[in-house]
């Protein structure tokens, strides 16, 4: 795979999995009674926590796989299945269990919303973490330019998510719920295709 194709796959995979649309809608619904200053702090903290989590798995995720004897092909197949299931949930407008917030008291939620459930699992969910590890494994065989693309994609997408949260009321003001559902379903179809491609590549790597 050439660098341009790899860059397109990397950015699209991470962008669709993190799904700034879902993040923005959840952010808006979670901070209705919070001051604008506090909203910005929550958006900043959640973005930084999610960025740190994805970078940690990008740097050390492959070592974790080796520690437990998991091959990259197996992770790619498992990740592809996970992406496929998330894609189906998006297409049918269901709430993804990989992004569903963890039930907790109102007090604990108010204190920890930037970490849980906003940073984990809304932004840096299992799908995003798995995909980052797989992409880094693929990039390792193509050299430093490909590895740099993965890290750049993480920074850029988290930056987009942060901006979307900061300007969430401006973004959601002119968009109807029906239109957001259409966009989300289109993204779900793309995620289905990416998941199938991950599975096909993983099977080829495992048996060839």
CATH code for position 124: 1.20.1250
Q: Dihedrals φ, ψ of 117, to 5°?
A: -100, 5
pTM, full prediction: 0.73
95-122 residue pLDDT tens: 554 455 444 444 344 446 788 767 887 7
**Is the predicted pLDDT of residue 180 greater than 70, yes or no?**
no
The parent domain of residue 82 ranges over 3-207
Which comes out higher in pLDDT, residue 132 or 63? 132
- Note the helical H segments in 68-118: 72-91, 106-112
Residue 47 tokens read as 């973005």
List helix spans (H) across 92-176. 106-112, 126-140, 144-166, 168-173
Indicate the range of 3-17, 76-90, 137-151 predicted with least confidence: 76-90
Alpha helices per DSSP H over 94-125 = 106-112
Give percent above pLDDT 90 in the chain: 24
| Of residues 195 and 60, more confidently modeled | 60
Higher pLDDT, residue 50 or 66: 50
pLDDT at 25: 76
Counted domains in the chain: 1
- Rounded (10°) angle between helices 177-207 and 3-18: 130
Identify the top-confidence range among 14-18, 50-54, 197-201: 50-54
| Residues 76, 133: Cα–Cα separation, whole Å | 9
């Amino acid at each position: 795979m050439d660098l341009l194709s790899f860059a397109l796959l990397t950015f699209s995979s991470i962008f669709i999995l993190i799904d700034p649309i879902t993040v923005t809608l959840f952010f808006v619904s979670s901070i209705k009674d919070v001051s604008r200053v506090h909203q910005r702090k929550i958006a900043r903290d959640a973005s930084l926590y999610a960025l740190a989590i994805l970078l940690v798995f990008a740097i050390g995720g492959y070592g974790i796989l080796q520690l437990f004897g998991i091959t990259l092909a197996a992770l790619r197949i498992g990740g592809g299945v996970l992406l496929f299931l998330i894609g189906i949930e998006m297409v049918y407008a269901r709430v993804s269990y990989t992004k569903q917030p963890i039930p907790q008291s109102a007090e604990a939620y108010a204190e920890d919303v930037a970490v849980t459930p906003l940073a984990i699992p809304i932004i840096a969910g299992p799908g995003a973490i798995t995909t980052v590890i797989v992409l880094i494994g693929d990039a390792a065989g193509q050299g430093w330019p490909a590895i740099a693309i993965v890290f750049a994609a993480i920074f850029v997408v988290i930056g987009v998510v942060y901006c979307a949260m900061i300007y969430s009321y401006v973004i959601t003001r002119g968009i109807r719920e029906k239109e957001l559902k259409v966009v989300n379903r289109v993204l779900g179809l793309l995620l289905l295709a990416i998941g199938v491609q991950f599975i096909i590549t993983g099977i080829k790597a495992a048996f060839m």
